Amino acid sequence: MKTLGSRLAALRREKELSQVELARMLNTGQSTIAMYERDRRVPNPEMLDRLANFFGVSVDYLLARTDRRVEAQSAGNSSISQHRDQPAPCEPGVACAAADPRFAELLRRLPELTREEKESLAEYWAMALKVIEKERRRRNQPPNGKE
């Protein structure tokens, strides 16, 4: 019988993540992930949404209510778990970035990098943020310097 725990464990293995790595990305403890996978604890609705969004599946799939990973979109259905491009609602910070599918894979690969590679990545990130900030200032500046 399929359960939330077996689904979660399978999805985690598909992404080649350890329980520790997944817990870190979701800002929770490894023991919490282990308890979910052993069906000893059920995630709260917010965590269910974050897990579904992280793995790109529906909450119903996680809960083993359906075998379809992603449900068909319906006009009145706005569940965050069904929108892969939208990050899960969370507090700003690393855990929120880790729950965003656009960054999750990048963050998952960080442990593979050497110290020097991580430093290079940090430098690139800092440069990219400077470019973004400069562009924001340019966009927010009134035309011809007038207000």
Write down the pLDDT at residue 124: 87
SS3 at position 57: coil
- Across the chain, mean pLDDT equals 80
Locate the domains of the chain by residue range.
Answer: 4-112, 113-147
Write down the pLDDT at residue 110: 80
Eight-state DSSP code of residue 113: S
Token digits of residue 115: 């110290």
Q: Structurally, what CATH architecture does the domain formed by 4-112 represent?
A: Orthogonal Bundle (1.10)
- The answer on pLDDT for 92 being more than 90 is no
51 pLDDT band, cuts 50/70/90, is very high
